[in-house]
Structure 1
Amino acid sequence: MARPTPLSGYPELLPAARAVEREVISSLSHTFELHGFANIETRVAEPLDRLAKGGEIDKEIYVLRRLQAAGDPESEGDTGGDGSSDRRLGLHFDLTVPFARYVLEHAGSLEFPFRRYQIQPCWRGERPQEGRYRQFTQADIDIVGKDELPFHHDVEVMRVMVQALDALPLPPLSFQVNNRKLIQGFYQGLGIPDVTAAIRQIDKLDKLPEDAVAELLVRHAGASDDQARRCLELATIRVSDRSLLERVRSLGVDDDLLDRGLDELMSVLDGCADVVGERVSVEANLRIARGLDYYTGTVVEIYMQGYERLKAVGGGGRYDALADDGRTTYPGVGISFGLSRTLVPLLSEGVLRGSRAVPSAVLVALADEESRPTSDRVAAALRARDISCEVVASPQKYGRQIRYAERRGIPFVWFPATEPGGSDQVKDIRSGDQVDADAASWVPPDDDARATIVVSASSTDERQTQ
């Protein structure tokens, strides 16, 4: 069989790197659950008509069909007994669209407000590049209400995600927050004819220079040159304190919606003030618009210091009518964090790595094949107390067995007693210390009990100075 050709856009992690990803997922899950968020997992496939409503990425949706589908009417989509054999299915490109469907489908069994977190792969058929993949994992949290959802949940979701990411050994992260009511009210107060178009053009400021965006505001939103200039003045405001109020008011625009958005944005800043630290910051950035139409209030994008080339590594906001069955509306607020987008570049550059490629903390040595039952009993006693271990594959000189442990990153080698009445011994192969030990009571240091995330300080410092 010929050697396989790698597929671009589908990152596969080696065991040590996968250990990092699993530790990150475990940490995020722990923080989310501390705040009462329940975990769910949605199916990978959704009807194409529902996916197409979820965003402007129709050309990037992967269609799901069987290989022998041609000419078979039952293969055109879901034939799971509901009679809808002509439904066309696609793989979900984010976790928000399937979550909205999940809420509608299971509303009768859920208690509202419903707090969920979801960590799953997604698929998007775009051109692969650093930070953008065809298969990637996201971590989402959302709070969804029934007909109404008080604003304090916007602050809560932001605080939870700040605390979740602050617990991770990542480069510094910046939460850039805005409010769609604020910018929409500002554009209304200016008298811009097409407010929605104006929001879409402002959202392009991270890709185009200000002069180009000003031209787009005139061409697509019907703005005058002066109105376009004032839109850009608003978009340049970026502060993390209450000076935001004065900066916006100084632009001389009056509108009730603007006032409500400004109050909500200040509430988010004030509400996060006690959870930000050296690793995570929160600030108002009035350039942030997020192009999707379903955002109605708070919007946020998350950036990683030293990796601004990746653009946002997370984002989200308030959506007042993403899920609606015609009788009941389910407003919500949520944030998505791009695990793959964040971790794969950090792993490839050596900023993060796993402490070892295997979960084993102990390698149980084997004097000879006849003593394998003894080594197996030692391993069983360690595992009974949740100490991960493995027995060496074949009896060799102890020096080779130690080198085997070194190659796999296993910190301890256990030597069962070879003489009646003798003591077992355990060796820390890093320091060379070897002591008597009992498999019924010995425990490794906490830092060695499981594979951990190792941060390369030199790599992090280098990135931050670039």
Structure 2
Amino acid sequence: MMNKKFNVSTPSGFPEFCPKREKVRQQWIKVISETYASHGFQPIYTPLVERDENLVGKGGNPKEIYALRRLQATDEDKSHSGNALRFDHTVPLALYVARHLNDISFPFRRQAIGPVFRGERAQKGRYRQFDQCDIDVIGSENLSFFHDAEMVAIITKIFTKLNIGEFVIRINNRKILTGFFADLGISADKIKPVLDIVDDLEKLPPAKIMENFAEQGLTNDQTNKILEFTNVTGEPTEILNYLKGINGGEDFTTGVQELETVLTGIKALKVPAQNFIVDLKIARGLDYYTGTVYETKLVGHESLGSICSGGRYNDLAKIFTKKNLPGVGISIGLTRLLGQLFDAGIIQADTASPSHILVVPQDEKLVPNAIELSQQIRDILGLSVETYLDKKKFVKKLDYADKLGIPFVAIIGEREIENNSFVLKNMTTGEQNTHSIENIESIMGELIVF
């Protein structure tokens, strides 16, 4: 074993963040979680592991689900048999609701932020372990479409706070599309495949789109009407009026009414007009969406794909409870998004340390005094403070602060001990001033604003 060489590289598809990037990740999680909480979404804690039959039964792909098993398990060892790692937060939510159905007050507003696992082919921007930041509102038997409007306000608030640039939330209703297809005479068994083709309109070349429509047996007239319909643009109210002018069937009309309710809610929530549009191309390929659907694009960086998606569904936990539990939710794929934003240079990870101040003793024997000063600054000002405890040349101590991006250094030497003071050095400007420890609160309050 002494001569064995170990492969210490990260396993393919499993991310690792350096301190600078991890600091950004944690800051994002804080913003997202606090925004969710400001709209009444309660956090719950669910297992990383669920029974594999439940994961598969709710739509999981067995080829992408990681089973849980001991490394030295024998065929007779059944202690972990039938357990697997979660691939999203939706199935754990469904199981949580099923387990606590009689204890939950509906509508149930929950947030879940944490890792999920998928055995996908690892590639740039695609991970096998990644954080998802989800919220869902679950109703019992019915759920107002004003909840769908609130999702748009929450997405807007989050990305505005994160300051990543211009973004647009694209909104549609699946019933509008499926109803329109049915009214064109497209058979029920072809509607889902046609919906998938519409979902690919921005991903595939026009010739391939036409070929796919033809393979589903659509006539040229049907294809042209779908393309004309999905390319309609305008202000949300203009598109709504256009839809109201179409003499559609029951599904289509219901979808238009639901969309109108959502737009009314968005107006009441005062979502800025530049942050949302109605886009009749948005279909979302997942089978379980039944009404409102959302995709969010970063303007000028559309190639990144949707940075936040979601929609309305009707049967969250029906296979587990036999009850009708409609819901609406959104999800931010945090790990994938951050990786893309870092790589594109859209966001920067500037500092690694959370410390506002590094307290540096000029001599090793003054370390206890430096520790005491650090604690005073923490207790009185509530700032993050690190103390340099190791024996190094003074310039090396300043280099340490500079490399970690710590903005201020408090220096304490023999003269400062005699005068009950310290020197505060601004690492950005190089300016330094002597301050009395007795007046630490007022003086530091003037100098440091965080």
TM-score, with structure 2 as normaliser = 0.89
How many Å apart are 1:171 and its aligned residue? 2.8
Distance 2:239 2:356 in 1: 52
Residues 325-404 of structure 1 mapped to structure 2, 5 A cutoff = 325-385=320-380, 386-404=382-400
Amino acid at match of 2:340: P
Q: Structure 1 residues 149-158 or 345-354, which shifts more?
A: 345-354
Distance 1:428 1:102, change over 3 A: same
Residues 455-466 of structure 1 mapped to structure 2, 5 A cutoff = none
2:421 to 400, 423, 431: 423
Aligned to 1:456: none
Aligned to 1:6: 10
Residues 175-254 of structure 1 mapped to structure 2, 5 A cutoff = 175-194=169-188, 195-220=191-216, 222-248=217-243, 253-254=247-248
Q: Residue 113 in 1 paired to residue 117 in 2?
A: no
Distance 1:446 1:37 in 2: 38
Distance 2:200 2:57 in 1: 21
Do 2:155 and 2:308's aligned partners in 1 also have CA atoms closer than 8 Å?
no
Q: Structure 1 residues 225-234 or 436-445, which shifts more?
A: 436-445
Distance 1:98 1:192 in 2: 36
How many Å apart are 1:267 and its aligned residue? 3.2
1:19 to 23, 30, 35: 23
Distance 1:290 1:131 in 2: 19
Amino acid at match of 1:347: F
How many Å apart are 1:120 and its aligned residue? 0.8
Distance 2:139 2:271 in 1: 27
Amino acid at match of 1:173: F
Question: How many pairs are equivalent?
Answer: 436
How many Å apart are 1:448 and its aligned residue? 6.2
Indicate the RMSD between aligned Cα atoms, in angstroms.
2.4
More helix, by proportion? 2
Distance 1:306 1:260, change over 3 A: same
% same residue: 35
Distance 1:431 1:134, change over 3 A: same
Distance 1:446 1:70 in 2: 65
Do 2:36 and 2:111's aligned partners in 1 also have CA atoms closer than 8 Å?
yes
Give the unaligned 5+ runs of structure 1.
78-87, 450-466
Do 1:131 and 1:310's aligned partners in 2 also have CA atoms closer than 8 Å?
no
Aligned to 2:287: 293
Q: Secondary structure at the match of 2:124?
A: coil
Q: Secondary structure at the match of 2:424?
A: strand
Q: Secondary structure at the match of 1:425?
A: strand
Distance 2:63 2:447 in 1: 49
Amino acid at match of 1:430: T
Residues 29-108 of structure 1 mapped to structure 2, 5 A cutoff = 29-55=33-59, 57-77=61-81, 88-108=82-102
Give the unaligned 5+ runs of structure 2.
none
Q: Secondary structure at the match of 1:334?
A: strand
How many Å apart are 1:412 and its aligned residue? 0.9
Distance 1:70 1:307, change over 3 A: farther
Amino acid at match of 1:12: E
How many Å apart are 1:129 and its aligned residue? 2.4
Distance 1:206 1:377, change over 3 A: same
Q: Structure 1 residues 357-366 or 345-354, which shifts more?
A: 345-354
How many Å apart are 1:169 and its aligned residue? 1.8
How many Å apart are 1:346 and its aligned residue? 1.7
How many Å apart are 1:350 and its aligned residue? 3.5
Aligned to 1:452: none
Aligned to 1:309: 303
Distance 1:240 1:25, change over 3 A: farther
Distance 1:412 1:152 in 2: 48
Distance 1:390 1:157, change over 3 A: same
Distance 1:162 1:188, change over 3 A: same
